[in-house]
Amino acid sequence: MDFKKAVFLDRDGTINFDENGYINNPDDFQLFSFSGEAIVTLNEMGYLVFVVTNQSGVARNLYKVEDIELVHKKMTKNLGEKGAIIDDIFFSPYHKKGAVEPYNIDHEDRKPGLGMFKKALKKYNFNIKKSFMIGDRYADIVFGKKAGLTAILVLTGNGERAFYKKRKEWEYKPDFVVRNLLSAVKLISKLESK
């Protein structure tokens, strides 16, 4: 049987606005207008769609794991209203400088660590070479490249500032840089038809 393929999506700045720092309340969660269409297209192309998000606000005592789950409930609901399906959500509540136990440690789950990737691979056993990572931060690119995925940087969220100001310092380079999540999905579709 043919192995499945997967697209890993960062959350804040990639799927939704990331204007006001930590999102700890469903009311502060707002999808980008194009995210539903982008994810529906991935669903139709047969990709597993995973969200992988660093949420160190838990370790930093800014919000709790339950708050993240409420935000994800809203994300799933809002995407569902557009017909878009997220197959699984992985989040990392860790940060070594945090105050809240047991999350105040350096943990492999925190991107660019590969903990969330490994969990997804174990659970879904997809074809790494046919899979992608899409995100707006350098940590997303490092995560994608270290995992062996094709890494796409979007210029929404933190992306534009990071790319134009910091890219010369980057040891890992994105395979592609595109405007937003929908452009990334159109690119994936184009690469598939080659």
Which residues does the annotation mark as catalytic?
10, 12
Transcribe 104-130 into DSSP letters. Answer: -S--TTSTTSSHHHHHHHHHH---GGG
Task: Name which of residues 125 to 154 contact Mg ion (CB under 5 A).
Answer: 136
In the complex, what is the shortest distance from the CB of residue 67 to Mg ion, in angstroms, rounded to a whole number?
A: 18
Residue 8: in which H helix or E strand, if any? strand 5-9
Is position 12 an interface residue for Mg ion (rule: CB under 5 A)?
A: yes
Q: CB neighbours (10 Å) of residue 159?
A: 26
Return d(Cα 53, Cα 135) in angstroms, integer: 10
Q: Does 13 bind Mg ion (CB under 5 A)?
A: yes
> Residue 157 CB, nearest distance to Mg ion (Å)?
5
Alpha-carbon span 171 to 168, nearest angstrom: 8
112 alpha-carbon distance from chain centroid? 11
* 90 C-beta neighbours (distance < 10 Å), count: 18
The closest residue (CB) to Mg ion is 13
Query: Binding segment for Mg ion among 7-15, 19-27, 37-45, 69-77 (CB under 5 A)?
Result: 7-15
CB 39 → Mg ion: shortest distance, Å? 16
Q: Which stretch binds Mg ion (CB under 5 A): 9-17, 43-51, 64-72, 79-87?
A: 9-17
Q: For Mg ion, which is the closer residue by CB, 53 or 150?
A: 53
109 touches Mg ion by CB under 5 A? no
Instruction: Write out the residues near Mg ion by the rule CB under 5 A.
Output: 10, 12-13, 136
